[in-house]
A and B are shown apart, each in its own frame.
Chain A
Amino acid sequence: MSAIRSKGALIPFQAASGGLMLLIVAAMAFLACFALAGALATTRIASTWTEGLAGAATVRIDANEDDRARRTSLVLDILRDTEGITDARALNERDVADLLTPWFGGIPDLGELPAPGIVAVTLDAENEPDPTVVQARLDGAGAGAIYDDHGRWRGKAAKAARAIGNLSWWALGLTALAIAASVFLVISIAMVAHKGTIEALRLAGAEDRFVANLYQKRFFWVGALGGLIGSGLALAAFVGLDALSSVRAALPMLDAPYYWPFAWLGIILTCALVALLAARLAVLATLRRRG
């Protein structure tokens, strides 16, 4: 006697429904990869911005040319004498011109612009001074200077990046939900076609979980294969984007982060597990509804 078929063959799955599901999961996995890239990139950008701006402050000295040197010297004395400040350095005309270049283009003679004096301050990252205390000391000495530790910028930048990151995570969650809903729908339709088979299995003593296992096993592999195809295409798209240096400069997440292989595997596994769980829930719900 030849081999009696495995449990998987007990349900006569149609190739068409499997192909349709594969296409849906592959498309969702492709979109999920971009959502994940968005989430990871914004998280990374947020930390880069906050880390970049942390540990540094600037002091702006609004004074005319005659008084600027005296006030700058006064500000430097106060700052160097403040706990939590490790260095303070007055920027020369060239440094200030460089700072303004992105907005005004090359500036041959800064003297023509009413540019303020700038002092770059390096902070002790472990023990940053209270900005209000520093400002009070500058005001008390009559330095006519404004202390800025970039706190407002840091907060806004991080908040914006976090908001975009959260949206990306939501998009990822919705993609998973769409896969689950598609599996649910496909299985509900398939179970109508398989009604006679399921009835025969149940009358032979099959528990609900036995029937659910037949479907979930099949849809786990459909999910995994769909995830592999979709994420593979997304990966190819990323490689293509990476090859474009202009895109690479604009999107720092493309700088070959170590987590891409894990993220890729994560997408495939998530597609497979979401399909498996949705299949199980769909079968159990349908069987209970039928009574």
Chain B
Amino acid sequence: MIQFENVGFRYKRGPEVLQSVDLEIPAGSFQFITGESGAGKSSLLRLLYLDAMPSSGRISLFGRDVTTLTRDEIAWFRRRIGVVFQDFRLLDHLSAAENVALPLTVAGAREAAYRDNVTEMLQWVGLGDKMEVRPPELSGGEKQRVAIARAVVASPDIILADEPTGSVDPAMAERIMALFVEMNRLGKTVLFASHDLAMIEQYKLPITTLRGGTVASGMGAAA
């Protein structure tokens, strides 16, 4: 489902932040992406949610070379990918419920059809009592959970999470991890980027380590 072939990526004319990355992530798998700060985790995810195109190499997503996608196709592909951003990217003028409903709203779904789903999702992340609250009034951990609910509400095929447990306490981190594992059990492909090796290693799931923009170990690592 996700295939990186010798992928390189640079920001404008800067140095390559990803070099010769080869990855093959089967549909329905769970993959941790780890590495130190600046190793290229966020850039790799950015390529996956089509916010940027590779500078070299080829990325295949849902059987398509991403560089051949039209603007509309990129939008449709993004509907099949749920993303939890490190900086949440919530809209401050919308309530928590409206933020969670965003992927459904842009997909043209009617409120009556998804209202229960949004309520259920916010209850699932423990924010059933904060549906009308706007992000500026939420704590970092609460924002993180709203972002997670938004990422999964439209039942995407792929879930990308960039340090989703970074701003929460250990108990909440465990709860969030359990949510992602549950989503994976439901057949979703999950890519979970984190630099918290201690937490990752508890789960006995595949780990790909990035170092200096290349795959150092795990799937696609140079022999």
Interface residues in chain A, defined as those with a beta carbon under 8 Å from any beta carbon in chain B: 1-5, 7, 9-10, 12, 196-197, 199-208, 210, 288
Contacts and interface: CB of A to CB of B under 8 A. Distances in A.
A18 to B, nearest CB: 15
B132 A2 contact: yes
A205 B103 contact: yes
B131 interface: yes
Nearest to A2: B132
25 contacts: A1-B97, A1-B115, A1-B131, A1-B132, A2-B132, A4-B98, A4-B105, A4-B115, A4-B118, A7-B105, A9-B94, A10-B94, A196-B91, A197-B91, A200-B90, A200-B91, A203-B51, A204-B78, A204-B79, A204-B103, A205-B79, A205-B107, A206-B75, A207-B72, A208-B71
Interface of B: 49, 51, 71-72, 75-76, 78-79, 83, 89-91, 93-95, 97-98, 101-103, 105-107, 111, 115, 118-119, 131-132, 150, 154
B34 to A, nearest CB: 23
A3 B51 CA distance: 31
A205 B50 CA distance: 11
B76 A12 contact: no
Contacts of A205: 75-76, 78-79, 103, 106-107, 154
A7 B91 CA distance: 13
Contacts of B72: 207-208
Contacts of B111: 3-4
A199 B89 contact: yes
Consensus secondary structure, chain A interface: helix
Consensus secondary structure, chain B interface: helix
Given A2-B132, A205-B75, A12 B93 contact: yes
A2 B47 CA distance: 37
Contacts of A7: 105
A118 B23 CA distance: 103
Contacts of B115: 1, 4
Nearest to A210: B106
Nearest to B77: A205
A204 B118 contact: no
B94 to A, nearest CB: 7
Contacts of B91: 10, 196-197, 200
